[in-house]
Structure 1
Amino acid sequence: MEEVNNIVKRIKKRRLELEYSFQDLADKTNMSKSTLQRYETGAIKNLPLDKLEVLASALQTTPSYLMGWDEVKEEPKKKGVKIPVLGRVAAGVPIEMIEDILDYEEITEDMAKHGEYFALKIQGDSMTPRICNNDVVIVRQQDDAENGDIVIAAINGDDAVCKRLQKYNDGIALISLNPLYDPIYLKKDEIDGKPVRIIGKVVELRGKF
């Protein structure tokens, strides 16, 4: 019964796609309107092969399509790559050595081909309203970034911060999106002395509710 219903749906779908009335289809198949209506409603359960071929030709498709023999099978989903969600990162500590793993997130295989990634759970409200407390950001590991990029940077070897990067001739600024927080301005000698180190660039936000 389910197979009959599927054939009926495909016949009706093609007729409507071609904007054919029952009379249009009758003219193209030399079948009566009432017969075609009965095929489309499933009142006639058996569709003879010769009628199937005529009907498929009129509907500009194939008997195999109407019968469901050549339906495209859904491709299997690509496997994802799991990356750790960290609660903290610090300067000088390799990502793979950090044991403070809270969870795991998944990125695509294509994405994983373009670098090393980790995820970081954001603490605090300095990046609201765009990035909120407990949101997770996906970070590509890199030691430099462009103006305007949101980066993960470590200062004084302490836990890293998530800020927008602004470069100047004599230094950089790490800027919060929340206007209640003042930017952190750092001269070149401070960058080397503290030290300040970019750990990665935020490439994706995964908000948590």
Structure 2
Amino acid sequence: MSIGENIKKLRELHNLSQKELGEIAGVSDKAVSTWEKNEKSPRMGAIQKIADHFGILKSDIIENKNIVSTINEPQQTYGSDSVPMPLLGSIAAGVPIEMIPVKEMINVPREIADMYPDAFLVKVSGDSMNKVIPSGALALIDPTEEIKNGDIAAVSVNGYDATLKRFYKFQDGITLEPESYNPNITTQFFSSKEQEYNPIHLKGKLVWYMAPLDIKF
């Protein structure tokens, strides 16, 4: 079977529309239509996104074979070059990390996982650190790493979900500094006195981040 036929069969097996598959691959439904008609061939990046989403190999899509038999075969979801790590939900103050529900497991390069075996992923929301890490990215947070002045940390303020900020601790308080292109986002300072009723909880240090599989360029 051709690449287009394999993509169409894969889409139909999962009861997806061309628009839904396009969202997975980061393209329009018209692009998916041209693939399935064999008018154009998808780029390798799009094929990789589709393969990652369905837990199959890229070669399963591009090689001349029936995708149905591939789907029905047991798949090795996590290859030798990647390791599954937990993507956590809300990480609010006072909630132990081990009690936070795991939303799903996400593959990260084995080299990274080996360096930070106790780390977890969170999805970045908002533009307060978009000079460094874009909204929608998956940030790897290590709760065991020492957080020093100038490090980017997941910080929970007064019980709210953790936010990523550059952290500075001074004798009279703590500063949380954004790195944003949005001029409306400003530095926050919490004095030692203020922290008695507005506590700061450090959840871990940002050690790495990756783009989500469904990111659009």
TM-score by length of 2: 0.54
CA contact (8 A) 2:84 2:105 kept: no
Q: 1:193 to 1:121 in 2, by over 3 A?
A: same
The one-letter code of the counterpart of 2:92 is A
Distance in 2 (alpha carbons) for counterparts of 1:87 and 1:170: 32
CA contact (8 A) 2:85 2:113 kept: no
Distance in 2 (alpha carbons) for counterparts of 1:101 and 1:153: 20
Distance in 1 (alpha carbons) for counterparts of 2:116 and 2:139: 17
Q: 1:151 to 1:132 in 2, by over 3 A?
A: same
- 1:156 counterpart residue number: 158
CA contact (8 A) 2:155 2:202 kept: yes
Gaps of 5+ in 2: 1-78
- Greater Rg over alpha carbons, structure: 1
Gaps of 5+ in 1: 1-76
Flag as ranges the 4+ runs of structure 1 deviating above 3 A. Answer: 77-81, 109-115
Distance in 2 (alpha carbons) for counterparts of 1:206 and 1:169: 35
1:133 and 2:126 aligned:
no
Distance in 1 (alpha carbons) for counterparts of 2:198 and 2:129: 23
Using the TM superposition, give the Cα deviation of residue 185 of structure 1 relative to its aligned residue in structure 2, in angstroms. 0.3
Pairwise mapping of residues 53-132 of structure 1 onto structure 2 (< 5 A)? 78=80, 80-99=82-101, 101-108=103-110, 111-112=113-114, 116-132=118-134
Q: 1:144 to 1:191 in 2, by over 3 A?
A: farther
TM-align CA RMSD: 2.4
1:185 and 2:205 aligned:
no
1:207 and 2:196 aligned:
no
CA contact (8 A) 1:136 1:206 kept: yes
Q: 1:115 to 1:146 in 2, by over 3 A?
A: farther
- Which structure's relative contact order is higher, taking Cα pairs within 8 Å and 6+ residues apart? 2
Q: Deviations over 1:159-193 (max 9, x none)?
A: 11110012222111111111431111011233343
- 1:20 counterpart residue number: none
Distance in 1 (alpha carbons) for counterparts of 2:87 and 2:94: 18
